[in-house]
Amino acid sequence: SQTIHQWPATLVQPVGSPLSLECTVEGTSNPNLYWYRQAAGRGLQLLFYSVGIGQISSEVPQNLSASRPQDRQFILSSKKLLLSDSGFYLCAWSVTYEQYFGPGTRLTVT
Amino acid sequence: SQELEQSPQSLIVQEGKNLTINCTSSKTLYGLYWYKQKYGEGLIFLMMLQKGGEEKSHEKITAKLDEKKQQSSLHITASQPSHAGIYLCGADAGGTSYGKLTFGQGTILTVHP
C-alpha cells in the first residue's frame, strides 16, 4: 500500500533563516506531487505542483521554492523565511484522480 | 479562478442526529473531493465525485454531486463523536488545472455525546 511521509512534524524558525521540508511517497511510481499551505484565515492553498523529476510548477508568487530530485521525493525550501511563511504545510500525491495527503509540517516563524 | 463556498461554517449536533454540509462552486466542476481533517493533522480522503448526479457512500457518509456539477452535499447519518472534525471540499477544474485542487474554507463539525 502507498504511504506518504513528511518531516519534520513541527518547526520553529527565526525570520531570515533557511527552510527545508521534505516529503516522500512509498508504494507508487511516477506520482504527481503537490505542496499546499494551510494558513489561518486563508484556507488551504496550492503552492507547487510536479508531474515528474525536475518538473515544478509554481501556483502563487512567494518566498518559497520546490524541488523534486527523485521520483518520490518533494522538497520545499526557502533561503530567508518571512513571518508570513508560518502555517501548516501539506504534501500530497496522486496517480489517478484521487489525491492523498501527508500528515503535515507545522511551521512557526518567529 | 474557481471558488468554493461551504455551508455552514460550523455545525454542532447531538450524537445520533443526521446532518448535511454543502459545497457550491462558481464554475462547473471536473471533480469534487471531500476530505476530513482533525485539527493539526493531515487530510483524510473520503470520496471523489466526477459525474453529474453521482452519489457515493462510505459507512454512514454519503456524498452527492448535482446534475449541473456545481454543487455537492455531504450527508452523515446517525452522527457519532468520531465524525467530529473539519470537513473540506476541494475542486478540480480539469484541463490544464488537472489535479490542482481549490478548497473551500471548511466546515467545523462538533458532535456532542
In A, what residues contact B, Cβ < 8 A? 32, 34, 43-46, 49, 59, 88, 90, 92, 94, 97-104, 106
Exposed (0-12), middle (13-18) or buried (19+): which is B23, by Cβ within 10 Å?
buried
Grouping H, G, I as helix, E, B as strand and the rest as coil, residue B81 is helix
Average pLDDT of every residue of chain A: 94
Does residue B96 or residue A39 have the better pLDDT? A39
pLDDT tens by residue, A81-92: 999 999 999 999
Average pLDDT over residues B23-27: 92
Identify the pLDDT of residue B22: 98
**Alpha-carbon gap, residue B24 to B89, rounded angstroms:** 9
Q: Is the pLDDT of residue B34 over 90?
A: yes
Does residue B29 or residue B48 have the better pLDDT? B48
Bridge partners of A80, per DSSP, are: none
- Cα distances from A96 to residues A33, A53, B57, B90, in angstroms, run 12, 18, 20, 16
Identify the pLDDT of residue B49: 95
Cell numbers that stand for B65 in this block: 454531486
% of residues, chain B, pLDDT over 70? 97
% of residues, chain A, pLDDT over 90? 87
Q: How confident is the model at residue B1 (pLDDT cuts 50, 70, 90)?
A: low
Could you tell me how many helices (H) and strands (E) chain A has, helices first? 0, 11
A77 touches A66 (CB < 8 A): yes
In B, what residues contact A, Cβ < 8 A? 31, 33, 35, 40-45, 48, 50, 88, 90, 92, 99-106
Cell numbers that stand for A53 in this block: 523529476
- Look up residue A15 and give its DSSP letter: T
Q: How far is B31 from chain A (nearest CA, A)?
A: 8
Average pLDDT over residues A16-23: 98
Average pLDDT over residues A46-75: 93
B101 touches A46 (CB < 8 A): yes
